[in-house]
Amino acid sequence: MLSFTSIQKIRTIPLQAYLSQKEIDIYKKLLLTKKNDWLAGKFAAKKAIRFYFLKKYQTGFSLKNIEIISGKFQKPDYKILKPSPWGNKILKKIKHNTNICISHSTGAAIAAIASTLKDGLTGVDIEKIRNFTPAVLNSFLAKEEKTAFNRQSDRDKPKLATLLWCVKEAYLKAVGKGLLCHPKFIEARLNIKKNIYEIYDNGRKISTNIQWRVFKKDYIIVEVNVMNTAQQATRNYAN
């Protein structure tokens, strides 16, 4: 379940309406340049979580009662603060079965929540469409991706390069690697018959569900759900 927002949309909402006191304290200490992205990210995540609980359990929470925290393996996590309609045991069980991911870029943010058993691990990325330097392109694109990139018109090249970056990063975030794995080991191949992207991790096809779109003309948004994670979990990433 995906949620996106921009800082323009939430600027007028008082912080107290959607942040817990602990989050407000953290926000106050942030660098000025980081505040907008941080707020947009938290808001998007809380919206996604609230919508998930509403849809799945017909239970609503105030956004300020959902606290976004740092989780394991570089993935964010969340807490439902009291008052909650459930006891700690039930809440723990529900939470254990979900995972979230957040991404932000220059005042825009997306977040996703997924049922781990049903939808697998979720990873998202949002990036402003841009021109990459040849050195960066050469480093992060796999061979076939470079061929696909070179086939594009000059007008479409920034969009494809940004999309390929987003797919790789969203996948790496889903599996909890982030930038700790070089993106060149992850390859996004377009399945022309199905018109979808498929992911190969160190040459091995990964069972994924990838969705992408252009957001506000300037951004690419990607959500990657990685299935059967138990079988795919560990891999050796040699440089």
Closest CA to 238 of 189, 184, 199: 184
Instruction: Tell me the three state secondary structure of residue 141.
Output: coil
For residues 140 and 187, the answer to whether their CB atoms sit within 8 Å is no
The CA distance from 46 to 34, in Å, is 18
Instruction: Check: CB of residue 235 under 8 Å from CB of residue 202.
Output: yes
- What are phi and psi for residue 33, nearest 5 degrees? -70, -15
Alpha helices in 156-206 (DSSP H): 157-174
- Of the pair 73, 86, the CB lying nearest another protein is at 73
Chain residues that interact with another protein, rule: CB under 8 A: 31, 33-34, 105-106, 125, 127-128, 130, 132-133, 135-136, 139-140, 165, 169, 178-183, 237, 239
Which one, 41 or 120, has the nearer CB to another protein? 41
Nearer to another protein, 105 or 232 (CB): 105
Q: What minimum distance in Å lies between the beta carbon of 179 and another protein? A: 6
* Minimum gap (Å) between residue 90 Cβ and another protein: 34
Distance of closest approach, residue 100 Cβ to another protein, in angstroms: 18
State in angstroms the smallest separation of the CB of 31 from another protein. Answer: 5
* Shortest distance (Å) from residue 135 CB to another protein: 6
Residue 70 CA to residue 64 CA, distance in Å, equals: 17
Report, in Å, the least distance between residue 128 CB and another protein. 8
Handedness of CA 14, 16, 18, 23 (dihedral sign): positive
> Which is nearer to another protein, 17 or 136 (by Cβ)?
136
Angle at CA of residue 75, ends 160 and 54, nearest 5°: 95
Closest CB to another protein among residues 170, 226: 170
- 135 versus 192: smaller Cβ distance to another protein: 135
